[in-house]
Structure 1
């Protein structure tokens, strides 16, 4: 299969003030977030992407554009509503410090698989739709461009954490052990027998080794020799 680079959007005005933006419109990258997304675009410039798929929210589309601006080629671009932020319902727009006193907060931390946000979505439903979307796009890019294809999905922190938990074979109740920072890069290859996770939450480092994609076979006993330079 192809290889997906999961990119969280850069920092937003809501992130900077401690608000849970959710699906609210008009939440843009702040200057720090734009700088973060530019750096991610520079890192990815060495990787010939075949496509960029984004959440429909502004902060993700802004991040996606800053990545596309630094690509030598012309990757396909798609907006997928299944990669949108979790529907936090009545929690949306509230301060995180206030949400921490809600009765539901401890369950969000320790048993997210049982969480349904009041007036919103379940976290299990969030994971199901986002994982299905990533696997659907990955299969399509593989079919069109072959197993060396590399593409980017720009989405949100909880979405990416849930996708990584699935790829790692972790129960959703453990996904809070994963941290995903603004404009961070995580890498998953969906192999024939299982997914392999090649990076999580990176904000620096050379990615040119991805220029020829990832060819996955049996897991090397002892760890192997690593990826070949381009």
Structure 2
């Protein structure tokens, strides 16, 4: 089974100003976001990544550069439009405090599957194209490198939430129950029978266990012993 590490971009100037950036050009990481991206890059430096797939938006490209530059193998970067930010249409560039007064806001919160942004896309369409992109890349990497392949995808909060909801078998209407912080790491393994959600929204912790072979596809009854640690160097 292939393993994808889902990384949200670091904090941006739009995040701190309370503006829905969407696909607005020129939205960059702020100082905190750069520190967050650097910290995440350090966590991923020990992971044998075969590639980093990124949203085309600048904040994701910046985060990706931190990851690649910190990695001794400098894995190749692939740009994937399928995991770009949701097209929020007329909502893009507006303040969240203002948008929260719109009738659509409550739909987004309680029934996302019915939410269609004026002049933009629906959350259901967003989920469909992002999940399709992730599964397509995972299958291609596994076919090329084998079932133990590990790769990273750098994307956006709502995109990652929708991918995790699909992997968890959750209806899209429940995806607001998932939190994805800036520069957080979530991990999904796509097995033959079902996805295995290994971690969600982590911002610290050792990831060197991802160097060990992936476990069997069947779920361990009772929970199992957890991931095996890679052998010590020289042992």
Report TM bin, short chain.
over 0.9
Q: 72-81 vs 3-12, which deviates more?
A: 72-81
SS of 2:153 mapped into structure 1: strand
Q: CA deviation at 1:48?
A: 1.3
1:98 pairs with 2:72: no
Q: Can you list the C-alpha shifts for 1:34-86, whole angstroms capped at 9, x where unaligned?
A: 00000000000110100000000000000000000111113121001111000
1:26 counterpart residue number: 26
SS of 1:51 mapped into structure 2: strand
1:201 pairs with 2:201: yes
Q: Is the 8 A contact 1:48 1:72 kept in 2?
A: no
Q: In 2, distance between residues paired with 1:14 and 1:211?
A: 36
1:171 pairs with 2:182: no
Q: CA deviation at 1:101?
A: 0.4
Q: Can you list the C-alpha shifts for 1:81-107, whole angstroms capped at 9, x where unaligned?
A: 111000000000011111100000000
Q: In 1, distance between residues paired with 2:216 and 2:54?
A: 26
Q: In 1, distance between residues paired with 2:42 and 2:227?
A: 20
Q: In 2, distance between residues paired with 1:216 and 1:184?
A: 26
Runs (4+) off by over 3 Å: none
Q: Can you list the C-alpha shifts for 1:90-125, whole angstroms capped at 9, x where unaligned?
A: 000011111100000000000000110000000000
SS of 2:103 mapped into structure 1: coil
1:51 pairs with 2:57: no
Question: How large is the RMSD of aligned CA atoms in angstroms?
Answer: 0.7
How many equivalent pairs are there? 230
Q: Is the 8 A contact 1:162 1:172 kept in 2?
A: yes
SS of 1:41 mapped into structure 2: helix
Flag the 1:164–1:213 CA change in 2: closer, same or farther, 3 A: farther
Q: Is the 8 A contact 1:191 1:216 kept in 2?
A: no
Q: In 2, distance between residues paired with 1:102 and 1:226?
A: 45
TM normalised by structure 1 equals: 0.99
Runs of at least 5 residues in structure 1 that lack an aligned partner in the other structure: none
1:180 counterpart residue number: 180
Q: CA deviation at 1:195?
A: 0.2
Flag the 1:156–1:213 CA change in 2: closer, same or farther, 3 A: farther
Q: In 2, distance between residues paired with 1:59 and 1:213?
A: 32
1:41 counterpart residue number: 41
Q: CA deviation at 1:213?
A: 4.8
Runs of at least 5 residues in structure 2 that lack an aligned partner in the other structure: 231-235
Q: Is the 8 A contact 1:11 1:30 kept in 2?
A: yes
Q: Can you list the C-alpha shifts for 1:169-214, whole angstroms capped at 9, x where unaligned?
A: 0000000000000000000000010000000000000000001352
What are the residue-to-residue correspondences of 1:60-209 with 2, within 5 Å?
60-209=60-209
Q: Is the 8 A contact 1:141 1:149 kept in 2?
A: yes
